[in-house]
Chain A
Amino acid sequence: MVSEKRGREFYILLAFFCLFVLFLYGPLSAVFILSFQGPNGGLTFPLNGVSLHWFFNLFETQAVGDFGGSFARSFTLGLMVMVVTVVVSLLAGLAFRRKFRGATALFYLAIASLVVPSIIISLGIGVLFQQFGFQPAWYSSGFGAHLTWTLPFGVLIMFAVFNRFSPEYEEAARDLGATPWQSFVHVLLPMIAPSLIGVGLFGFTLSYDEFARTLMTSGTYNTLPLEIFGMTTNVTTPVLYALGTVTTLFSLLIIASTLGFIFYMNRRSRRK
């Protein structure tokens, strides 16, 4: 599939890719460096001494705001959104394999959900809850607002998956006497599992980072992005950078352990 010898094209593209990665990580490295600011240092260069002060500070009570609580909320919300996104997208993907009345309308509604500017959704849900006298909260209105962002991604990915998914496998299963449920669990699900995991991770990340949609829908308590934003109304310290560094290292750790696991599984399956 790829030319045997690596030509000039490969090296040019490799260089381009490296530049891209550098671009992605460049400012993060500034964050990384600045998170080691001395206790009296600020959010900008130059460094005012080097210390681990802000990493310890991350776990202390801040002057303003609460990392622990808002992180717990964001994390929980991300997991809720992840689960619902996976399940609902999968179901919708299955539904769209058949023709049903309203399918086109629903599809375009999903697209619309993607393109309606976040701040409009936020404003709309906020005003809606207000007019109907509901109590907004991160786990109700905020949850819904996030779903309008993650579901279209999930549905589109499922669409892509099923569009290219040959029905022959299921037909074969049926010919062998499998019930629809059996063919779903034993044939279809394993084949699309990687995509579902992709949908889940994507959903989690989108929700974990979402700011504008949460702005007017979060109710009493802030999610992490809102909390960070609120904290910038007072003296903020490099502790924000320490948070960024820890988050990034945590994701790197997750990915490294995933890769370790892949190698382990590969070795084991090869031995079998």
Chain B
Amino acid sequence: MSEKSKKPSGISRRSLLKTGAAAAGAAIGSGAITGFPTIWAQNPITLRQIGTGVSNINAIAQKCKEDLGITLEMTALDSDSAAQRAVTQPNSYDIADIEYWILKKVFPAGVIQPMDTNKLTYYDQIVPLFKTGKLTPDSEIAQGTAPHTVGFVEGPDSKTFASGETEWFTMVPTIYNADTLGIRPDLVGRDITTWADILDPAFKGKTSILNIPSIGIMDAAMIMEAAGEITYADKGNMTKEEIDKTIDFMIKVKQDGQFRAFWKSFDESVNLMASGEVVIQSMWSPAVAAVRSKGIPCVYQPLKEGYRSWGGGLGLAAHLSGAELDAAYEYINWYTSGWVGGYLNRQGYYSACMETAKKFMSDDEWGYWIEGKPAQKDILSPEGKIMEKAGAVRDGGSFEERMGSVACWNSVMDEDRYMVRRWNEFIAS
């Protein structure tokens, strides 16, 4: 009886699939390209960029098309996938937008070609942090995989990093920021001043840190050092003993039920905070903004130990040559010429060339985001939504104040093999 009953439905399903196929055809065909290429009109060129959704923003591709005529195809990935794709599928992209700490592993794999700084129009204006590790001539170099340590190589074919500034730049920085704890001021009920506050029993079951092993361990290190449990020689490059101590401590904290969850994607961190699952957690600046935009109070709390910082950059795929390579250089020069910088700064990140970005921001925006001044008027997001009301001051203050008190950079350690094993243990405990 089943055979008999199913037959008629079968016929109809088949016809339906036909319609489906037609619809798919239409969908593919409708991806028509619009816009009028200017410079590359004679020789249309497409660059494929991979990276995380943090900076792979469609608006940048649109503007790039308008300004340069270069079609930028952006593929958004999570940060793990971005690194893996960069290494294992080197031909699947032309430009890799990856973070500096993973570059330490990606670059030696030979999939990224260094850039000739002479071809970079705005090289001189790139923030010195990425060249010397110092924001101002007298600032201290932070621990961890500071971008300048993986920023240069000796020559075009070199696979090892140079100790100082050379003419061969591995990546042009895109965005970077100083991360700290985000809090719900309405729910914590007291002043938060140190990373160690995440261990306060009052917040039991209401805290969170990152679940990306190499970043999560940095969060853990900041917390532990703040709690006075340990002093690291270099948080970004722990010894086995330091890793053991850190993980053992974190296991204890976890088993005590201090954490509600560990987050891996931007989105998770926003949801944890917005829904009140968590009241204090390691967070990214635009995530705080995203929580606030929902009308929920959230503060990106500066802490006395300083910030945990990170940065990303654009690297050129090793296979690029000829016109494509020229186009890639042109894209990168355009990227640093200001429009993108202004766009990124308005999201709460920092851009590589502050001076060029300034031209694309209003005085009020520049004052609020970079100089730490109270906003004169409402601060709008790039999409035109109100992010902050007039009178607001950015948490943590100015660019110099925030990037000037970076305690460590996200890193990969020499002992990363051991670290991952112990991290897995932490998660499994």
State the A residues within 8 Å of B (CB). Answer: 40-45, 48, 61-66, 68-69, 71-72, 75-76, 79, 82, 126-127, 129-130, 135-137, 190-191, 193-194, 197, 200-201, 215-216, 219-222, 226-227, 229-236, 254, 257-259, 261-262, 265-266, 269
Contacts and interface: CB of A to CB of B under 8 A. Distances in A.
B92 A232 contact: no
B24 interface: yes
Interface string B13-50: 11111001101100110110000000000000000101
A72 B28 CA distance: 6
Given A194-B3, A233-B53, A75 B24 contact: yes
B268 to A, nearest CB: 7
| A contacts with B: majority SS | helix
Interface string B72-91: 01111111010011001101
| B contacts with A: majority SS | helix
B265 to A, nearest CB: 4
Nearest to B267: A232
A68 B27 CA distance: 7
Contacts of B88: 126-127, 130, 216
B56 interface: yes
B89 A136 contact: yes
Contacts, number: 168
Nearest to B294: A42
Contacts of B192: none
Interface string B267-291: 1101100110000000000110010
Q: Which 3 A-B pairs have the closest CB atoms?
A: A234-B53, A230-B76, A261-B12
B58 interface: yes
21 contacts: A42-B274, A64-B56, A65-B76, A68-B30, A75-B24, A79-B20, A194-B3, A220-B75, A220-B89, A222-B77, A230-B75, A230-B78, A232-B266, A232-B267, A233-B53, A233-B76, A233-B265, A234-B54, A234-B267, A235-B290, A258-B12
Interface of B: 3, 6-17, 20-21, 23-24, 27-28, 30-31, 48, 50, 52-54, 56-59, 62, 73-79, 81, 84-85, 88-89, 91-93, 265-268, 270-271, 274-275, 286-287, 290, 293-295, 383, 385
A76 B79 contact: no
Nearest to A127: B88
B195 to A, nearest CB: 24
Contact of B91 (A126, A135, A232, A234): A135
Given A42-B271, A61-B62, 19 more contacts: A40-B293, A40-B385, A44-B271, A62-B58, A63-B59, A64-B56, A64-B76, A69-B31, A72-B28, A76-B24, A79-B20, A79-B24, A130-B89, A137-B92, A194-B10, A227-B76, A235-B286, A261-B12, A265-B8
Given A44-B274, A68-B27, A220-B93, A233 B21 contact: no
A267 to B, nearest CB: 11
A271 B255 CA distance: 71
Given A130-B89, A233-B265, A215 B12 contact: no
A232 B78 contact: yes
Nearest to A61: B58
A69 B92 CA distance: 17
A233 B54 contact: yes
Contacts of B270: 42-43, 235
Most buried by A among B17, B275, B286: B17
B52 A43 contact: no
Contacts of A259: 9
Contacts of B267: 43, 232-236
Nearest to B77: A230
Nearest to B11: A265
Given A130-B88, A234-B266, A262-B8, A254 B16 contact: yes
